[in-house]
Structure 1
């Protein structure tokens, strides 16, 4: 398993129904090369199956973590490009352009801290983010 395989797995964790062509665009491979890698990961037992989530384990008011992530973009990242990249990240419910030391405020739902870690890595490696600051919602009134 190499870095591309790990990227593919990370994207499939976010959206297991992602098409091979969309997945390929995200990791820089052709559709057929992406499909071949996914099939190999399945055959090797790395990917054991696909599942659905119910209201019990969907992040948000019923479970998981509610987070607010302040985002500062890299100097060479345009806001429009950032928004286009994060638009399909399922765990991001909202991206708000704000004033102050950060550029955007994200409202995020993730099932656990592992998913948060993967999201933060993805924001920095794929979305042009230079810095983040995360706050966890403890309760809402």
Structure 2
């Protein structure tokens, strides 16, 4: 991957629907050369696909809770079982495997504190291998997006 490939990726991250002619002009290539490089980036898996990011802010009556989860063990089996369980919890909107003190960082949406208590009790604390849960309620979003 060279500087032109990185420029193609940078521009597509900003606008995934950018027409090839505009992309080519932005990176200093002819349209055919740009398209050839784009197809190579797709073929080798550098570009795995295209997606649409929808601005779907939670309704005002939802609260966002940032949750740190620490597992009893960090074996492949424990990680896999936890990840399978967390995918089944619709209130968990995002989940990241982390380095540092906590093993996972989750973004959970709940109607209110009582609803989060239910999610905590009935879902999060029952997930396989969970040793510790630390929760923080978000005050407001400063930057949000994809």
Scaled by the length of structure 2, the TM-score of the pair is 0.51
Separation in structure 2 between the aligned mates of residue 103 and residue 126 of structure 1, nearest angstrom:
13
Secondary structure at 1:78 match in 2: helix
- Conservation of the 8 A alpha-carbon contact between 2:82 and 2:127: no
Secondary structure at 2:136 match in 1: strand
In the alignment, which residue of structure 2 is the partner of 1:115?
Answer: 115
Shift of 1:125: 2.1
Scaled by the length of structure 1, the TM-score of the pair is 0.53
In the alignment, which residue of structure 2 is the partner of 1:133?
Answer: 134
1:63 aligns with 2:64: no
Larger radius of gyration: 2
1:1-141 equivalent positions in 2, closer than 5 A: 60-75=58-73, 78-121=78-121, 122-141=123-142
Secondary structure at 2:85 match in 1: helix
Separation in structure 2 between the aligned mates of residue 123 and residue 112 of structure 1, nearest angstrom:
16
Structural RMSD (CA): 2.0
In the alignment, which residue of structure 1 is the partner of 2:20?
Answer: none
Runs of 4+ in structure 1 deviating by more than 4 angstroms, as ranges, are none
- Conservation of the 8 A alpha-carbon contact between 1:86 and 1:127: no
Shift of 1:134: 0.7
Listed as ranges, the gaps of 5+ residues in structure 1 are: 1-58
- Conservation of the 8 A alpha-carbon contact between 2:69 and 2:104: yes
Equivalenced residue count is: 83
Separation in structure 1 between the aligned mates of residue 141 and residue 131 of structure 2, nearest angstrom:
29
Separation in structure 1 between the aligned mates of residue 118 and residue 128 of structure 2, nearest angstrom:
13
